[in-house]
């Protein structure tokens, strides 16, 4: 245990420099919690729409394209990193504590403070590292095009907003708001994406002429403009490479299923040793660990994507790099998609047809997803 404490004690000199939200010294009224939560979400939404100053271009392949929604990030904005730094730091600290590499006694207040400080410090370092990697990898144009001044300015913007996200999450976690900051940011980002993809008035040329991006808008547009209503309905429900009505209905169905299972509880009988015959019950939610294992798994995969794409751009002919992941640009979206290596197998099959064509891929992904989530759930317990 002494070795574990020595590791945690390395964080002590940095605690006074880390931003911290003081725990509430009184019970926060519900109305105030709502206000704090709304303000936090407003700041998050503003940052999600505020473009990065000094960037040259964002038209290149997006290494986080697959994970944008669940990582609450937005391309080309100051919220580029989303919750990745705080989730990745939480993932690392959970694994270190769970494997006893760092021994933490949660009953000791100092240990909890040091662990929280270590996670916060690691989150800031990850934000700095990812910001530097984004700039040097040419995500916003080459450093020569940006200039040293703009490159440093972009890094500062990304790091500053990363620290803001950490502070907002801590604010909500310490009783000032409703629920977890991470979960609220993800839920807000998902709702924003669903509404946009359902009602977006933007027109996109997908090879079949100009089409509305929003599934609902496209449905009514096709029904009004097409003479063959059956074909119009079929296209609205099953059109490729753009949001369709089937996607929207499937999202609503999954939402209802999750709400249904959220209410499930397993009741464990509890007996008192001191009082014979006296027993009670202890209910445990079926979704005991909530969505955190999936968030941690997504953070793990997103970092794999990022590293794999960086290496594939420079060393695409290397056997070990291709073993980690092979990528190609999609002819429709222009985004890089994994087509081989580990990155391909930890990615969900794109369709039922893809699943039938490569059952091993589907099986590997299923086993990996369940195993990773089970491991993270065990560490969170």
For 227-238, the pLDDT digits (tens) are: 888 888 888 888
SS3 state at 281: strand
Q: What is the C-alpha to C-alpha distance for residues 127 and 185, in angstroms, rounded to an integer? A: 17
Q: Coil, helix or strand for 225? A: helix
Residue 271 has pLDDT above 80, yes or no: no
For residue 240, pLDDT beyond 90 = no
Strand partners, 280: 270
For the segment 35-61, the average pLDDT, to the nearest whole number, is 84
What does the alpha-carbon distance between residue 8 and residue 79 come to, in Å, rounded to a whole number?
Answer: 30
Percent of the chain predicted with pLDDT > 90: 13
- For residue 212, which phi and psi values (nearest 5 degrees)? -75, 140
pLDDT of residue 276: 63
β-pair partners for 266: 284
Q: Label residue 126 by pLDDT band (50, 70, 90).
A: very high
Which range of 114-118, 129-133, 173-177 scores highest in mean pLDDT? It is 129-133
Give the pLDDT of residue 93: 84
Structure confidence at residue 1 (pLDDT): 44
Q: Above 80 in pLDDT, residue 274?
A: no
Categorize the per-residue pLDDT at 380 as very low, low, confident or very high, splitting at 50, 70 and 90. Answer: low
Which of 3-7, 153-157, 276-280, 337-341 is the least confident region? 3-7
Please tell me whether residue 139 adopts helix, strand or coil conformation. strand
34-38, 57-61, 99-103: segment of lowest average pLDDT: 57-61
Residue-level pLDDT at 61: 60
100-116 CB burial, b ≥16 within 10 A, e <16: eebbbeeeeeebeebbb
Backbone angles phi, psi at 209, to 5 degrees: 100, 180
Q: Which of 67, 68, 65, 121 is nearest to 90 (CA)?
A: 121
Q: What is the pTM of this model?
A: 0.76
Q: Is the pLDDT of residue 2 over 60?
A: no
pLDDT per residue as tens digits for the range 128-154: 998 998 888 778 878 888 888 899 999
Strand partners, 327: 338
Q: Which domains does the chain have, with CATH numbers?
A: 1-196 (1.10.3370.10), 197-285 (no CATH)
Give CA–CA dist 211/38, Å, rounded. Answer: 35
* pLDDT at residue 3 tops 70: no
The total number of residues written for the chain in this structure: 381
Say how far apart CA 197 and CA 217 lie, in whole Å. Answer: 10
| 3-class DSSP state of 131 | helix
Residue whose structure tokens are 């009224």: 29
Residue 219 scores a pLDDT above 80:
yes
pLDDT of 155 = 93
Find which of 38-47, 92-101, 175-184, 272-281 is predicted with most confidence, using mean pLDDT.
Answer: 38-47
Residue 327: helix, strand or coil by DSSP?
Answer: strand
Task: Return the percentage of the chain with pLDDT > 70, whole number.
Answer: 90
Helix H or strand E segment including 143: helix 143-146
Report CA-CA distances (Å) from 230 to 218, 220, 233: 14, 13, 5
Q: Distance between CA 294 and CA 234 in Å, rounded? A: 34
Which of 25-34, 254-263, 295-304, 326-335 has the lowest average pLDDT? 326-335
More confident residue, 272 or 201: 201
What number is the average pLDDT over the span 50-71? Answer: 74
Contacts of 340 (CB under 8 A, 6+ apart): 322, 325, 326
pLDDT at 367: 93
Q: For 355-373, what is the mean pLDDT? A: 89
pLDDT attached to residue 95? 78
Instruction: Report how far residue 20's alpha carbon sits from residue 116's, in angstroms, rounded to the nearest whole number.
Output: 10
- H/E stretch holding 338 reads strand 336-340
Q: Say what the pLDDT of residue 58 is.
A: 62
14, 121 contact by CB (below 8 A): yes
**What value does the mean pLDDT take over residues 289-307?**
80
């Amino acid at each position: 245990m002494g070795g574990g404490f020595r590791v945690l004690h390395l964080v002590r000199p940095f605690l006074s420099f880390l931003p911290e939200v003081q725990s509430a010294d009184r019970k926060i009224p519900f109305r105030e919690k709502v206000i704090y939560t709304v303000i936090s979400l407003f700041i998050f939404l503003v940052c999600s729409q505020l473009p990065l100053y000094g960037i040259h271009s964002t038209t290149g392949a997006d290494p986080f394209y697959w994970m944008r929604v669940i990582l609450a990030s937005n391309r080309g904005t100051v919220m580029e990193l989303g919750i990745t730094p705080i989730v990745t730091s939480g993932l690392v600290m959970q694994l270190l504590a769970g494997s006893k590499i760092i021994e933490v006694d949660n009953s000791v207040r100092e240990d909890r403070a040091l662990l929280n400080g270590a996670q916060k410090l690691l989150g800031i370092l990850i934000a700095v590292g990812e910001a530097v990697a984004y700039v040097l990898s040419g995500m916003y144009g080459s450093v020569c095009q940006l200039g040293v001044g703009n490159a440093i300015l972009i890094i500062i913007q990304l790091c500053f907003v990363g620290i803001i996200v950490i502070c907002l999450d801590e604010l909500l976690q310490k009783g000032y708001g409703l629920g977890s900051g991470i979960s609220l940011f993800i839920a807000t980002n998902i709702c924003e994406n669903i509404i946009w993809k359902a009602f977006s008035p933007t027109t996109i040329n997908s090879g079949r002429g100009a089409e509305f991006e929003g599934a609902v808008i496209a449905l009514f547009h096709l029904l009004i403009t097409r003479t063959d209503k059956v074909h119009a309905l079929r296209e609205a429900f099953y059109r490729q490479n753009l949001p369709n009505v089937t996607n929207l209905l499937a999202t609503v169905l999954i939402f209802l299923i999750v709400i249904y299972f959220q209410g499930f509880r397993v009741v464990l009988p509890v007996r008192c040793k001191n009082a014979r015959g006296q027993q009670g019950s202890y209910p445990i939610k079926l979704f005991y660990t909530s969505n955190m294992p999936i968030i941690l798994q997504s953070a793990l995969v997103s970092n794999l994507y990022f590293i794999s794409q960086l290496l594939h751009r420079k060393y695409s002919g290397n056997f070990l790099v291709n073993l980690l992941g092979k990528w190609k640009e999609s002819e429709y979206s222009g985004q890089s998609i994994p087509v081989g290596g580990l990155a391909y197998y930890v990615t969900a099959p794109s369709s039922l047809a893809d699943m039938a064509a490569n059952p091993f891929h589907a099986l590997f992904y299923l086993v990996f997803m369940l195993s990773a989530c089970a491991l993270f759930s065990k560490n969170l317990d």
